[in-house]
Amino acid sequence: MPELPEVETTCRGLRSTVMGLSITDFWCDWEKMCSPKPSAIKSRVLHAKIDSIERKGKNILIHLSTKETLLLHLKMTGHLMYGTYKKINGMFVPDDQNKALHDPYNRFIHAAFSLSDGKTLVFCDARKFGKIELLTQKQLSSHSRISSLGPEPIDNSFTVEHFKNKLRAQKRSLKPLLLDQSVFSGIGNIYADESLFRSKIHPLRISNMLQDSEIEKLYTSVREVLQTGIDFGGDSTSDYRNIFGERGSFHGKHKVYRRTNKPCLNDGCEGTIQRIVVGGRGTHICPRCQTHI
């Protein structure tokens, strides 16, 4: 699932491509992804100008000149792309020199916004769990995915004291706590595993039992790992592609995620990476570096 760095990469791409353009048409062949129905979205976004792009956790907010907002969530396999497309037999296919748009991972297009520059913003989603919602300002502020969001770990205002208070306030295993969007927004499976490994803390450790020095290490690791994810344009272990259909490269930087049975990369450690299950999620650890006290 795209996490904070992937969604941030997409938002940066949107700002460099679609800002200031008007929407000239909307198409969707998977009604379940839309709220309200595609025909209602179309009638309300037609001729609206894209004023600004905002990210909140893993949510993409496209603010329109009509004072309404498109709230998009990529869910498991979604990504947005911008380019020249043509409609063939009712389907959007790339008609673009950019070879990346022709990548087989980019062919599952289920929604498309035609734009005033003649290009199209498409929503590609192999598993079709993605969401497109059109909301008034009031609906947006009370939306369950927005109103419940915890603070962003990469915000400048998010201090180690905030982090410490969040961990100490609960008595929960660390991994599910890090993934809980109402506690911290934007962290998912990959970045949680990488952060815990880099701070040498076991994912089953209980949040209010950590020592100050461990909390400080984890705080630094979470922020560094998320920032590195952004710097490398996101992670394309799975379907994620950026706005131009290209892969990110953070998956080449993994130290633990999906490195099962490979040697630990920490200096002097002869451990082997193992996959365990924590809170129903596949989790990768070095059992020598991350001991379960």
Calculate ∠ Cα 89-100-97, nearest 5°. 70
d(CA 148, CA 143): 8
Identify whether 36 is preceded by a cis peptide bond (ω within 30 of 0): yes
Task: Spell out the long-range contacts of 151-156 with Cβ–Cβ below 8 A and sequence spacing 24 or more.
Answer: 151/184, 151/185, 152/4, 152/57, 152/184, 152/185, 152/186, 153/4, 153/184, 153/185, 153/186, 153/187, 153/222, 153/223, 153/226, 154/4, 154/186, 154/223, 154/226, 154/227, 154/230
- Cβ at position 197, least distance to Zn ion in Å: 8
Given the residues 5, 8, 55, 58, select the one marked as catalytic: 58
Nearer CB in complex with Zn ion: 185/199? 199
Interacting residue with Zn ion among 151, 176, 271, 279 (CB under 5 A): 271
Read off the amino acid at residue 14.
Answer: L
> Per rule CB under 5 A, is residue 269 in the interface with Zn ion?
yes
> Per rule CB under 5 A, is residue 289 in the interface with Zn ion?
yes
Q: Which residues pair with 113 in a beta bridge?
A: 26, 121
Nearer CB in complex with Zn ion: 128/288? 288
Binding map of Zn ion across residues 165-194, x = CB under 5 A, - = no contact: ------------------------------
> Per rule CB under 5 A, is residue 62 in the interface with Zn ion?
no
Nearer CB in complex with Zn ion: 119/217? 217
- Cβ at position 269, least distance to Zn ion in Å: 3
Residue 97 CB neighbours (<10 A): 8
Binding map of Zn ion across residues 205-234, x = CB under 5 A, - = no contact: ------------------------------
> Per rule CB under 5 A, is residue 286 in the interface with Zn ion?
yes
DSSP string, 73-92: E-TTTEEEEEE-EEEETTEE
For 51, residues 6+ apart whose C-beta sits below 8 A from its C-beta are: 19, 63, 64, 65
- Cβ at position 231, least distance to Zn ion in Å: 25
> Per rule CB under 5 A, is residue 288 in the interface with Zn ion?
yes
Rg (CA), the chain: 20
> Per rule CB under 5 A, is residue 266 in the interface with Zn ion?
yes
> Per rule CB under 5 A, is residue 256 in the interface with Zn ion?
no
Nearer CB in complex with Zn ion: 62/264? 264
Residue 3 known to be catalytic:
yes
H or E segment to which residue 147 belongs: helix 144-147
Residue 2 known to be catalytic:
yes
Q: Which stretch binds Zn ion (CB under 5 A): 67-75, 102-110, 219-227, 258-266?
A: 258-266
> Per rule CB under 5 A, is residue 291 in the interface with Zn ion?
no
Buried b or exposed e, range 263-276, using 16+ CB within 10 angstroms: ebebeeeeeebbeb
Nearest residue to Zn ion, by Cβ distance, number only: 264
> Per rule CB under 5 A, is residue 287 in the interface with Zn ion?
no
Q: Which stretch binds Zn ion (CB under 5 A): 110-118, 159-167, 202-210, 280-288?
A: 280-288
> Per rule CB under 5 A, is residue 281 in the interface with Zn ion?
no
Residues that bind Zn ion (CB under 5 A): 264, 266, 269, 271, 286, 288-289
Annotated catalytic residues are: 2-3, 58, 281
